[in-house]
Structure 1
Amino acid sequence: MLRSLFYDVRAWLVLRRRRWKMYWLLREKGDVPFFAILSVPFIVIGLIFYFAYSARSTIDGSRIDAAKIRAREIRCLAENIYFEARGETLQGQYAVAEVTMNRLASPYFPDTICEVVHDTRWDPLRQRLVAHFSWTAFKLRLESGSPAWKQAMDVATTVYHGYYEPVVPDALFYHATSVQPYWASSKKVVARIGNHIFYR
């Protein structure tokens, strides 16, 4: 055991001596090759640190971007719940949020929650673009500290992450009971919750 350790140490010393001897031989021929070989370990270590740091910053950046996108999407969903159903029961608020998410899953609507919420359609009767959710056409005031807003954020977060039982499965449309839109007769009623009728 000691003998093998002795041979290992001796071999290491011989290799070390030969390496330094090569450095000095190269140095005699000029300083450029000597310093070029001497700088190789520093360049390798520098490259390792550079790639490790750049990879980490990319991963952290993508996490930050994903978190910002998720927060923006939940906020858009909460705004829709707040302005469309803040006076409704909790079940009515879940139903409005579910319609928004059903539209997101449908190929006939935009690909993000914010785009779904702020989407417009051509109204042949008015001969102009009309917002799907009427509140988006007006500059309404949001009371962000109110209990209604906090509840809308809770409902939006729950629905966004899918931690709820579907209330209006496959529903893509709804309207208040106080109005009778022209398109209602062409849709199938899914449920009537509070002051809203939901259709597929």
Structure 2
Amino acid sequence: MMKVRVLSAFSAGLMSLCVATGATGQNISEMDVTLGTSASANGLSGVLDQLMGMEAASLSGLSANRLRQIGSAFDARRARDDNRIMDAAGLDALRAPRGGAQWRCLTEALYFEARGEPIEGQYAVAEVILNRVDAANYPNSICGVIDQGTGRQFACQFTYTCDGQSEEMTDRTAMHRLGHIARIMIDGAPRDLTAGATHYHANWVNPRWASVYPRTTEIGIHRFYRQQY
């Protein structure tokens, strides 16, 4: 049974590689079935040799650029599973993100508040929103935090919700990337960029509270602050 498990794990990994490279995994499945019914040490060695040969053959026909793309995709998937901050290349290598209403609200907020910011700045804005969700004196949902004050002139917490401009996300690349950041942060990525910030502002404005709350960091055009309760 141990030998079969080892082969299954190896072949599963090779199957993923075959999918990434466009090769077929039919022969791998056939080898698994054969070994599962009759697994001798010699048989295992022979099948592993064949599998490794298939792996080498799959890789040998790929261009250097395609190999880099595959490597980036696997690195991105691993980083996502570990809830680590990922760079733009890693995020772009992932499949289209998905989520419910709270995820959509966070994606939209990041799009209109931070899409022109560096990656760390985009994660930082997500931190602020989620820090507010956790704070007692703010709404306890992402959508609630983002929409707080919307509909009252000069009372909205996030400018894009009451500036009268279209809220249609037209940049598909940015939406894809920010959707992944929203997904990663909602799924529990560490919030260690802003030291618990609950506020931020662009560096060309000077809101009244900026002289009251301690500044925690500055990333891109945004300065971050932590509200004192």
Deviates further, 141-150 or 189-198:
141-150
Task: Give the match for residue 53 of structure 2.
Answer: none
Letter in 1 for 2:111: Y
More helix by share: 1
Match of 1:155 among 172, 178, 181: 181
**Residue pair 1:89, 1:194 contacting (<8 A) in 2 also:** yes
Structure-2 separation of matches of 1:170 and 1:131 = 21
Task: Give the match for residue 167 of structure 1.
Answer: 193
Letter in 1 for 2:156: A
**Residue pair 2:200, 2:225 contacting (<8 A) in 1 also:** yes
Task: Give the match for residue 83 of structure 1.
Answer: 112
**Residue pair 2:108, 2:169 contacting (<8 A) in 1 also:** no
Task: Give the match for residue 131 of structure 1.
Answer: 156
Alignment of 1:29-48 (within 5 A): none
Structure-1 separation of matches of 2:131 and 2:175 = 22
Structure-2 separation of matches of 1:141 and 1:110 = 22
Q: CA deviation at 1:169?
A: 2.3
| Number of residue pairs the alignment of both structures matches | 126
Task: Give the match for residue 210 of structure 2.
Answer: 184
Alignment of 1:44-59 (within 5 A): none
Structure-2 separation of matches of 1:168 and 1:187 = 13
Q: Give a deviation string over 1:26-79, Cα, whole Å, max 9, x none.
A: xxxxxxxxxxxxxxxxxxxxxxxxxxxxxxxxxxxxxxxxxxxx6100110111
What secondary structure does 1:132 align onto?
coil
Larger Rg: 1
Question: Please, what is the CA RMSD of the aligned residues?
Answer: 1.9
Structure-1 separation of matches of 2:167 and 2:103 = 18
Please, which runs of 5 or more residues in structure 1 have no aligned partner? 1-69
Task: Give the match for residue 145 of structure 2.
Answer: 116
Identity between Structure 1 and Structure 2 (%)? 36
Q: Give a deviation string over 1:142-180, Cα, whole Å, max 9, x none.
A: 235610111110100000001345211210000000111
Please, which runs of 5 or more residues in structure 2 have no aligned partner? 1-98
Structure-2 separation of matches of 1:117 and 1:140 = 16
**Residue pair 2:133, 2:141 contacting (<8 A) in 1 also:** yes
